[in-house]
Structure formats: C-alpha cells, structure tokens
Amino acid sequence: KAGVTQTPRYLIKTRGQQVTLSCSPISGHRSVSWYQQTPGQGLQFLFEYFSETQRNKGNFPGRFSGRQFSNSRSEMNVSTLELGDSALYLCASSRSPGQLTLNTEAFFGQGTRLTVV
Amino acid sequence: GQQLNQSPQSMFIQEGEDVSMNCTSSSIFNTWLWYKQDPGEGPVLLIALYKAGELTSNGRLTAQFGITRKDSFLNISASIPSDVGIYFCAGPNRDDKIIFGKGTRLHILP
C-alpha cells in the first residue's frame, strides 16, 4: 500500500514568486490536511480538505490557499512568497476528517522543503 | 489561543536509559496525541489518549493523559539508538484543528 506522496521534495524560489505543492493521499483516504513546520514555530495547521471542500482553516494569510480534486489529491499554493515562508510543508491523509487519531488512520508524507531566497 | 508547551526542549541520554517528557496546556484537551518525527520524514503517530487518567503503552513507550486534562506524559524505557528523533505532543483544539507542541529532541550518546 503506497504511502502519502508529496512532490516535489525540495524547492527553491525567490521572493515574490508563487509556488504549488502537491499531495497524493493513500488510496481510499479522502481527507487531506496541510501543515507548515519551522524551527521557530513548530508544526502549524494550514487547512484541511475533505471531498473537495475546505473543512477547516488555520491562521495563515490569504496568500496560502489550497484545493482538493475529485481523486482526493490536494494542492496548496503560496503566492507572493516571503523569506518567512521557508519551511517544511507536510500533508497528512486519513479516511475521515477531523481529529488525527489511530481511529482515523492518519499518515504524514515526507514533506516538501521550500526555501525562499 | 490554545498552546501546548513541551519540556524538555532537548535531551541527551545514554543508550539503555529511560526517558520522560511532558506536555502541558493552559486549557483542557479531550484527546492527547504523541508523534515521533525522524530526520527527513513526516511525523508518525505513536500513541493516542482519549480519557483523563488513561495510561496507554505501545511497546517500550507509555503515555498518560493527565487527570486535569491539561497535561500528558510520554515515557520511553530502555532507550535504543532508533529512538533518536523529535517527539511531539498534539491535540485538537476547540475548533477541531490539531495543534502541536514544539517538540522534544532526543539525542542518544554512544
């Protein structure tokens, strides 16, 4: 059974550019959540999608957006990149939305490391 | 907003030693989750706790849900080299978003 796949693994962009990251959940999982991980702030929740609908959203500016397709694959987009957006972006998939618990079998991908220069 | 405070931030121990770390919050949580993150990987769920006072084990790992519902503890017995990594506590806040502590980084000395 394939795990959560995030592409690309590494990315370097310059300030002002925009970037799109991709997450393919485990087959059969319909919920995808995105997190930003930085040394200073730790893991912060960005948003969650279930059945192509944004179910929950964290406290990030509107430059951060996402979407989910009918095959449950999800993308997140960051526009007008800033140096502070440099981080590891993680996605997690589960069968059902809400709490990440053993009951919902949530799994994280390896992440996309974004560096903004 | 709700925050999770983990301590210690980092630990240096000898192989074979037992490890204790904790997570506290100023507000009540109804679920406590403990994750481990290896270098270059995403976090992996180790233990989930659902009831105040609950004590749950997963191999050499034992976690407890504090009676006040404002804290949780993770213990690792007889540490081995593959225990190295960052351990995060997490829980769903009142908006059903999972929030994470900043982690405890475990180092094992040869």
pLDDT tens column, A47-98 = 999 999 998 899 999 999 999 999 999 999 999 999 999 999 999 988 876 6
CA distances from A88 to A37, A78, B26, B92 (A): 5, 13, 28, 21
* Residue B96 DSSP code: S
**Interchain pair B31, A33: CB under 8 A:** no
Q: How far apart are CA B52 and CA B14, in angstroms?
A: 32
Q: What integer pLDDT is reported at residue B30 of this predicted model?
A: 87
**Interchain pair B43, A44: CB under 8 A:** no
Identify any residues that bridge with A23 across adjacent strands, giving them in sequence order.
Answer: A6, A74
Query: Which chain B positions have a beta carbon within 8 Å of A98's beta carbon?
Result: 92, 96
Other beta carbons within 10 angstroms of residue B91's beta carbon come to 27
Q: What integer pLDDT is reported at residue A42 of this predicted model?
A: 87
